[in-house]
Amino acid sequence: MKNWWKESVVYQIYPRSFCDSNGDGIGDIGGIIKRLDYLKELGIDVIWLSPVYDSPNDDNGYDIRDYRKIMNEFGTMEEFDRLLAELHQRKIRLVMDLVVNHTSDEHSWFVESRKSKDNPYRDYYIWRDGKDGKEPNNWGSCFSGSAWNYDEETGQYYLHLFSKKQPDLNWDNKKVRTEVYDMMKWWLDKGIDGFRMDVISLISKEEGLPDGPAMINGYASFNVAANGPRVHEYLQEMNREVLSGYDIMTVGECSGVTLEEAAKYASSEGKELNMVFQFEHMDVDGDPDNKWTDKKMHLPDLKAVMTKWQKGLEGIAWNSLFWNNHDQPRVVSRFGSDCEEYRERSAKMLATCLHMMQGTPYVYQGEELGMTNVPFETIRDFRDLDSINAYHELTEKGIFTREEMMKYIRYKSRDNARTPMQWDTSAYAGFSESAPWIMVNPNYKRINAKEQMERETSVFHYYKKLIALRHKHDIIVYGSYELLLPDHPHIYAYIRTLGEQKLLVVCSFSSQTVTYSIPKEFESGTVMISNYETGERKCGELKPYEALVILQSSDLL
């Protein structure tokens, strides 16, 4: 079935790092409003806004103190309303982040909950007695250490799968669910266009909270807590009580999701969500139990994962397509090349490879410029608690040396995505008039929006073309997907088919020239887009990081 959210391209804004309008070094809503014409120019349809709610910022807004208030640093509710109106005027939709697996420990529910065992809010969170003087089970927090925190006041532990300032809500309590649904309706009635649901696969915990396998750095709890026994029941209830009443878009962040589970979360019958974020392709360069490595991705592994999801959900559910978000290092540094010679080529190649697939593509701020990882020098340059905690924990336990750990966080830290958006060559990259809350990538004089908007051959213009192509051709949105050359170490090639139409997508992940012949049936086709000029391309080979999209017959263009 056709849907507007299948035909859309989403742009993710991480407000703290997007644009600062009042010179305090912190991005804000005023800053987003200032840059709306830039987004319109890029051609995106929907914005996913990372949390802007009142928060003590232990995890940059993913720890919410008040769901119905805007964070002071970001502005006021009046400014938010203005942002929404200005977006709608430009025909851009707004999807908000919904963070309801946990709240901040400063949320009034938790403040009450921790007061006494018989407080009416006690059961809003997950409290347990210790076991033999230790934590109730072996779950680790995703941000290092135990997932349990002992609370002196009542002598019990509360569960926090993330930081100890992010206590997990108890979804088995109907009152919690009702509070969440009321809050969602409150935002939807304001006119927002949907939700991206933070770690939504974790909301229903296994009965009895059994021990999980021991793993480095907390990832154990992900595997035990993900896709719990009642998660689908709760999402179906949410759908009945809230979502189904609005024409909106919903995407669930589903860490640890399998194909079978995704087919339930995002089933085309529409009982739960529209689509999920799965993360298997973000694990191809990690170890099974540990993301802190600088291992390089092996292309056949990436192809296998992407293909599994492309084919596995076709006609059953809907994929979301992403290389980047605020939790991932920059893709050009990760799967492409950030050396100046190949940065733009490889950024365009990666964009082609993803945007020609079936699903809804997400562009993370700065990706459309080919922004790169950051040359952080010392641990003091980092702001992200995940990276900082992991650095201390893993070096103190002697699992890695400091040098190793610095290398790993420099490569994998979420802060790589969180340095200020690079707008122009002025001080602080045009992001702010004063020193930002996190360092600016020193490459901003070379890599910035102003320069790229003025130059036709830039990564920005290339994204603009890809987005326009998707709007024009149904085959890009709805066509089926078939992988070619699964074992080729350098080439990612696939075919999309819709009715009589066929589209060939060929991407080289190599910095060398590789031999390649276009399948016969495409020889007389039309090149829809490429990151090389016609004269530069050569028959029988692919240039470094070449990307090529060919439509079989030209009369359909």
Cα separation, 197 vs 183, whole angstroms: 14
Q: Which residue in the list 73, 193, 198, 285 is annotated as catalytic?
A: 198
Give the burial class of 72: count Cβ atoms within 10 A of its Cβ; 0-12 exposed, 13-18 middle, 19 or more buried: exposed
Q: Which of 124, 99, 137, 128 is closest to 218 using CA atoms?
A: 137
Using CB distances below 5 to 8 A depending on partner kind, what does residue 59 bind out of Ca ion, ligand GLC, none? ligand GLC
Q: Is residue 24 within the footprint of Ca ion (CB under 5 A)?
A: yes
Binding mask 228-267 for ligand GLC (x = CB under 6 A): -------------------------x--------------
Least distance (Å) between residue 494 CB and ligand GLC? 29
Residues 6+ apart with CB under 8 A from 171: 177, 203, 204, 230, 234
Q: In this structure, are strands 541-542 and 514-515 parallel, antiparallel, or unpaired?
A: antiparallel
The reply to whether 299 sits near ligand GLC by the rule CB under 6 A is no
**Contact status: 314 vs Ca ion (CB under 5 A):** no
522 binds ligand GLC (CB under 6 A): no
Here the tokens at position 527 are 């090149």
Residue 198, binding choice from Ca ion, ligand GLC, none, Cβ under 5 to 8 Å by partner class: ligand GLC
22 binds, options ligand GLC, Ca ion, none, Cβ within 5 to 8 A by partner type: Ca ion
Residue 455, number of CB atoms within 10 A of its CB = 12
Does residue 443 sit in helix, strand or coil?
helix
Q: Does 26 bind Ca ion (CB under 5 A)?
A: yes
Count of residues that interact with ligand GLC, criterion CB under 6 A: 9
Contact 142, 256 (CB under 8 A): no
26 binds, among ligand GLC, Ca ion, none (CB under 5 to 8 A by kind): Ca ion
CA nearest to 211, candidates 162, 138, 280, 145: 138
CB-based contact 143:81 (threshold 8 Å): no
Check residue 79 for interaction with Ca ion (CB under 5 A): no
Q: Are 549 and 527 in contact (CB under 8 A)?
A: yes
Q: Which is nearer to ligand GLC, 84 or 251 (CB)?
A: 251
- Residue 149's nearest CA partner among 121, 180, 110, 97 is 110
In the complex, minimum distance from the CB of residue 220 to ligand GLC, in angstroms, rounded to a whole number: 16
Whether 62 and 167 have beta carbons less than 8 Å apart is answered as no
Residue placing its CB nearer to Ca ion in the complex, 86 or 123: 86
When asked if residue 199 is in the footprint of ligand GLC (CB under 6 A), the reply is yes
**Sequence-ordered list of residues with C-beta below 8 angstroms from that of 545, at least 6 positions apart, any chain:** 336, 337, 342, 345, 346, 348, 349, 508, 509, 510, 511, 531
| Nearest alpha carbon to residue 7 among 307, 198, 275 | 275
Smaller CB distance to ligand GLC: residue 261 or 546? 261
Helix runs in 270-414, H state only: 299-313, 331-334, 343-355, 385-396, 402-412
By CB under 5 A, name the one of 9, 20, 436, 449 that touches Ca ion. Answer: 20
Q: Among residues 62 and 80, whose Cβ is nearest to ligand GLC? A: 62
Query: 242: closest CA among 176, 170, 178?
Result: 178
Q: How far is CA 210 from CA 142, 172, 207, in A?
A: 17, 17, 8
Of 62, 121, 222, 462, the residue at the interface with ligand GLC (CB under 6 A) is 62
Please, which residues have CB within 8 angstroms of residue 79's CB and are 6 or more apart in sequence? 29, 30, 33, 70
By CB under 6 A, tell whether 198 contacts ligand GLC: yes
Counting contacts by CB under 5 A, is residue 22 touching Ca ion? yes
Instruction: Supply the minimum distance, in Å, between the C-beta of residue 97 and ligand GLC.
Output: 8
CB of 49 to ligand GLC, least distance (A): 13
**For the purposes of burial, counting CB atoms within 10 Å of the CB of 2, is it exposed (0-12), middle (13-18) or buried (19 or more)?**
exposed
Residue in 53, 50, 32, 44 with CA at minimum distance from that of residue 106: 53
Which member of 20, 54, 58, 59 binds ligand GLC (CB under 6 A)? 59
Would you count residue 162 as binding ligand GLC (CB under 6 A)?
Answer: yes
Question: Does residue 168 bind Ca ion (CB under 5 A)?
Answer: no
Spatial separation of the C-alpha atoms in residues 95 and 104, rounded to whole Å: 21
Which of Ca ion, ligand GLC, none has residue 24 at its interface (CB below 5 to 8 Å by kind)? Ca ion
| Tokens 């592994």 sit on residue | 301
Q: Smallest distance, Å, CB 50 to ligand GLC?
A: 8
Stretch that binds Ca ion, among 16-24, 127-135, 501-509, 523-531 (CB under 5 A): 16-24
206 is catalytic: no
Of all residues in the shown chain, the one whose CB is closest to Ca ion is 28
Q: Smallest gap, in angstroms, from Cβ of residue 480 to ligand GLC? A: 31
Give min distance, CB of 69 to Ca ion, in A. Answer: 17
Choose, by CB under 6 A, the member of 86, 327, 474, 482 that binds ligand GLC. 327
Q: What amino acid occupies position 282?
A: M
The answer to the question of residue 20 lying near ligand GLC (CB under 6 A) is no
Shortest separation between residue 389's beta carbon and ligand GLC, angstroms: 12
Stretch that binds Ca ion, among 21-29, 102-110, 356-364, 526-534 (CB under 5 A): 21-29
Backbone dihedral region for residue 31 (phi beyond 0: left; psi -120 to 50: alpha; all else: beta): alpha
Reply yes or no on whether 198 is catalytic. Answer: yes
Among the listed residues 73, 253, 285, 546, the single catalytic one is 253
Q: Does 99 bind ligand GLC (CB under 6 A)?
A: yes
Closer to ligand GLC by CB, 79 or 198: give it: 198
Minimum distance, C-beta of residue 493 to ligand GLC, in the bound complex (Å): 32
Choice between 24 and 482, CB closer to Ca ion: 24
The residues binding ligand GLC (CB under 6 A) are 59, 62, 99, 162, 198-199, 253, 326-327
Q: Which residues are known catalytic residues?
A: 198, 253
Residue ranges that bind Ca ion, judged by CB under 5 A = 20, 22, 24, 26, 28
